[in-house]
Amino acid sequence: MKRLILISTCAIALVLASTAAAALVPGVYFQNSADSACVSSTYSAGALHLAKTCPTSTVASAYGDITGLNGQTFTTGSFTLANAAQCQGGSPRFNVFTTTGTFFLGCNNVTPTTNSDGTVTYTFDAASIAAAGGQVPFPTGTITDVAVIIDVQGTADVSNISVNGTPEVPAPVVTGPPTSKNACKHGGWKSFTNPSFKNQGQCVSYVAHHTKHGKSHSHTK
């Protein structure tokens, strides 16, 4: 039985976005549990870090699933690698699943652009696929799923991931609001995103005016 695991890291908490908004969800796939340790997918410092340490023949992969694209038509996608050596054959690539089939857009299927910092950007649209010799068909139909993936032995640091002109990053977990003044102390105010605060005082003030806990204390004689 195939096993699919979505993972998160301490660097960033992830949630699945609703179908109305696209988001990047790191994950790994492996056929046999013994191979679970040979693939990893994490997101930090603006990049999706994909690794596969076991042989290419091992049925295992590391990926970033892109949610919220269902029903769209694929027009363009792009990503940047830390260097050209991270492009190994058709990996990493976009796997584009649509109502008419599955399309594989590998880094070797287009001519990349080398940036001033040594990173390399790969753009996938009808023109770039054709200019590189039309090695693979361009996606047709409407999208049912999209992922950026590696399944060969190696690593890839994938940044600036974009599909249909929309940057794809993990969706942060919304935390808050605070329910006690103590939750604001010792830097706790920094952890809240709904709402967010500029300092501890703002957090404490919110508790005092918006929660039963704060109001009960504010009216205590």
176 domain-assigned? no
Count of other CB atoms within 10 angstroms of residue 21: 10
Q: Could you tell me which residues come within 8 angstroms of residue 206 by beta carbon, excluding any fewer than 6 positions away?
A: 177, 178, 195, 197, 214
187 domain-assigned? yes
Of 3-7, 130-134, 211-215, highest mean pLDDT: 130-134
Q: How many domains does the chain have?
A: 2
Q: Name the residue among 216, 164, 211 with its Cα closest to residue 183.
A: 211
Last residue of a domain, one of 127, 142, 167: 167
Alpha carbon distance 144, 15 (integer Å): 19
pLDDT digits (tens, 9 = 90+) for 157-199: 999 999 999 999 998 766 778 889 888 888 788 878 888 889 9
Same domain, 56 and 21: yes
Same domain, 159 and 192: no
Same domain, 159 and 212: no
121 domain-assigned? yes
Q: Name the residue among 51, 22, 25, 49 with its Cα closest to residue 36.
A: 51
pLDDT digits (tens, 9 = 90+) for 36-85: 999 999 999 999 999 999 999 999 999 999 999 999 999 999 999 999 99
pLDDT for residue 191: 77
Q: Name the residue among 2, 65, 75, 53 with its Cα closest to residue 32.
A: 2
pLDDT for residue 174: 66
pLDDT for residue 6: 44
Phi and psi dihedrals of 74, rounded to 5?
Answer: -75, 120
173 domain-assigned? no
pLDDT for residue 212: 62
Domain range for 200 is: 181-218
Q: Bridge-partner residues for 145, per DSSP? A: 97
Same domain, 104 and 137: yes
Q: Name the residue among 61, 64, 48 with its Cα closest to residue 11.
A: 48
Residue 210 has pLDDT above 70, yes or no: yes
Same domain, 163 and 80: yes
Q: Could you tell me which residues come within 8 angstroms of residue 117 by beta carbon, excluding any fewer than 6 positions away?
A: none
pLDDT greater at residue 63 or residue 217: 63
Whether residue 55 is preceded by a cis peptide bond, meaning omega within 30 degrees of 0, is no
Same domain, 135 and 201: no
**DSSP helix/strand/coil, 69:** coil
Provide the CATH number for the domain around residue 46: 2.60.120
Same domain, 213 and 157: no
* pTM for the model: 0.73
Residue 219 has pLDDT above 60, yes or no: no
Same domain, 212 and 144: no
Same domain, 142 and 202: no
pLDDT for residue 190: 80
197 domain-assigned? yes
**DSSP helix/strand/coil, 120:** strand
Same domain, 75 and 119: yes
pLDDT for residue 221: 39
pLDDT for residue 21: 67
Question: What is the mean pLDDT of the segment spanning 86-93?
Answer: 96
Q: Bridge-partner residues for 167, per DSSP? A: 162
78 domain-assigned? yes
pLDDT class of 115 with cuts at 50, 70, 90:
very high
pLDDT for residue 217: 43
What integer best gives the mean pLDDT of the chain? 87
pLDDT digits (tens, 9 = 90+) for 4-38: 444 433 333 333 333 346 799 999 999 999 999 99
Q: Are 93 and 46 in contact (CB under 8 A)?
A: no
Same domain, 185 and 162: no
92 domain-assigned? yes
Same domain, 162 and 198: no
Count of other CB atoms within 10 angstroms of residue 34: 11
Count of other CB atoms within 10 angstroms of residue 199: 11
Residue 131 has pLDDT above 50, yes or no: yes
Helical H runs in 67-211? Answer: 126-131, 200-210
DSSP state of 216: H
pLDDT for residue 47: 97
DSSP state of 50: E
And the tokens for 144?
A: 């049912």
pLDDT digits (tens, 9 = 90+) for 121-130: 999 999 999 9
79 domain-assigned? yes
